[in-house]
Structure 1
């Protein structure tokens, strides 16, 4: 049953969090410390523009779940935390609810508990334009995430193996809905080639959603009787790599995949993301402590992120994108072979009219 599959996804995704933070692409990004560049924290603004709207915070609760009693309870806690902190929130894929209206309340709770918040519906790229409109209507959504998940489908026991129709399907969805569309990978990254194709199709916003977080190869492989796709674990590019190779003219970018801390958020924002999505790190908190625990975690991360920008001398996100960062490790190697010069990132403050010595 589809509801059982949704419960399996939550259980298996949460299990990946129990081992603690893993090294990922964010660890290849370091800020250059300038000891006299700090400013007062009360001068920092975290506001950001996403898909034509102004968000108070540059991170959000990314797509997770829905479709069963258990996942509906999780969504209720997520929605309450979003309401009480002002963060944007995305639903899990509502496809199941379009076929089975009895589970629609497990998604609708995101809007019912958060009537004035910024809510994104989520739907698979293979769905019809009519389904996209229904998904938006179900949540009175402010935007529609369209997820791209060919790797997951390949490993999923009941997954699709037919992907050639996806570009045309996406173009139909973009034309059909009257809210912004955000194309989102599910943890394998959006390459420069893909971002160019999305821009050519009229997609204005994309979440690069790289590897290093919840690995849906591992999730789906655990559901296979012989667990025979383990060799695909770790497939794809990190969010950091995707941000660094994003071409001129790409859609406005969001980033997610393996975000473990406010520092990871700052790293992604400094590399050009307009906002940063968090799933696994927040899922483990809400499963352990409910809405109150997640509310407190989001409040702490907001305070920490503000402090990090103050430490870096950045009054806002535009200034953060001019801070000096050094890219090393496997990400630097990836960029070298892909023809991306990351050396200039380490000297961005040389253009500032400040007291740099």
Structure 2
């Protein structure tokens, strides 16, 4: 049953990628162009550091799948691409392994094909600390992702309906494992209040996982005989909205959900993310062209991100958070309602460009 569900998720997620309209809230974020801001490409570093971790690039392959023969083959291709490009990678939810240990290879293939890379194991918020340690050991995982998906579970025909213990359980896991813990949403976003709670439980990193990418409300509704939850198709906050809503909370933040190209990566980094995660776009590439196609795409993205940082005069990821950005459209309205001051973002570089970049 679980294997069939995982295969359904891949099929429905890939269909969404073919149907994407194009616009999301990242389009409401634009950089102010300063014509004399540019630096030399040789000055730019893509290394990102956060929560005691250092990644060579601010891009990662986010959680997708595993638990069936077909999804295990997909994970192998993803892992090969991660190994060849150096990007960190996350497994899909490993709850299938906890229910059926014969699915182990569909997840552990990620470590086998990527022995020296940064690999994140993924679990749900009902997992015990002991189970979390088993999963970390299976993958020799460098970090643990805990996904939050109450809306997905609500719509999922066989989904969970008990969410009250999640916060306490996350706290137990943080205390019970020896790797950094990253808590992520699956596409409905993390609010300021949620991220504050996560910080207080000891969570090291929050991945906002906002609306704009794969829509799991729609995925699960398609699996329902009557499709009677279509009114939740637009539930949640977008990734840029979450990044703006959660600034200054004293916890490292990652951006995933609706990241379509290198400009979106730069926008996310400028709004405070330490790195940007991609699932749907990379899944589509792997399904169409395998690991080789994904390697080419990732290398293009990294080269183009470096080019953007060069033109923006940002020698490193931290410098991007001092570049002027404009917030407009629906995203600006969200910020107004949530009390987020967007005006300061448009002039935060100060006089840096009066005589050249501030470096």
TM-score (normalised: structure 1): 0.98
Q: Give per-residue Cα distances to partners, 1:38-65, cap 9 Å, x unaligned.
A: 1121211010014322111101000000
Please give the residue correspondences for 1:273-284 in structure 2 after superposition, counting only pairs within 5 Å: 273-284=273-284
Preserved CA contact (<8 Å) 1:50 1:275:
no
Preserved CA contact (<8 Å) 1:195 1:250:
no
- What is the CA-CA distance between 1:323 and the residue it aligns to? 0.5
- The corresponding residue for 1:51 is 51
- The corresponding residue for 1:307 is 307
Please give the residue correspondences for 1:316-327 in structure 2 after superposition, counting only pairs within 5 Å: 316-327=316-327
- The corresponding residue for 1:215 is 215
- The corresponding residue for 2:185 is 185
Preserved CA contact (<8 Å) 1:188 1:238:
yes
- The corresponding residue for 2:162 is 162
Tell me, in whole angstroms, the C-alpha distance in 2 between the residues paired with 1:91 and 1:120: 6
Tell me, in whole angstroms, the C-alpha distance in 2 between the residues paired with 1:21 and 1:41: 34
- The corresponding residue for 1:345 is 345
SS of the aligned residue for 1:277 comes to: strand
- The corresponding residue for 1:332 is 332
Preserved CA contact (<8 Å) 1:350 1:356:
no
- What is the CA-CA distance between 1:250 and the residue it aligns to? 3.9
Matched, 1:119 2:119: yes
SS of the aligned residue for 1:114 comes to: coil
Residue 39 to residue 247, structure 1, CA distance change in 2 (3 Å): closer
Tell me, in whole angstroms, the C-alpha distance in 2 between the residues paired with 1:90 and 1:56: 16
Residue 247 to residue 326, structure 1, CA distance change in 2 (3 Å): closer
Tell me, in whole angstroms, the C-alpha distance in 1 between the residues paired with 2:201 and 2:224: 35
- The corresponding residue for 1:286 is 286
Q: Give per-residue Cα distances to partners, 1:80-121, cap 9 Å, x unaligned.
A: 000000000000001111221111000000000000000000
Matched, 1:224 2:207: no
In structure 2, stretches of 5+ residues that fail to align are none
Please give the residue correspondences for 1:1-357 in structure 2 after superposition, counting only pairs within 5 Å: 1-20=1-20, 22-352=22-352, 354-355=354-355
TM-score (normalised: structure 2): 0.97
Preserved CA contact (<8 Å) 2:211 2:236:
yes
Give the CA RMSD over aligned residues.
Answer: 1.2
Tell me, in whole angstroms, the C-alpha distance in 2 between the residues paired with 1:91 and 1:138: 12
Q: Give per-residue Cα distances to partners, 1:177-218, cap 9 Å, x unaligned.
A: 100000000000000010111111111211001001100000
Q: Which ranges of 4 or more aligned residues in structure 1 deviate by more than 6 Å? A: none
Tell me, in whole angstroms, the C-alpha distance in 1 between the residues paired with 2:177 and 2:320: 33
In structure 1, stretches of 5+ residues that fail to align are none
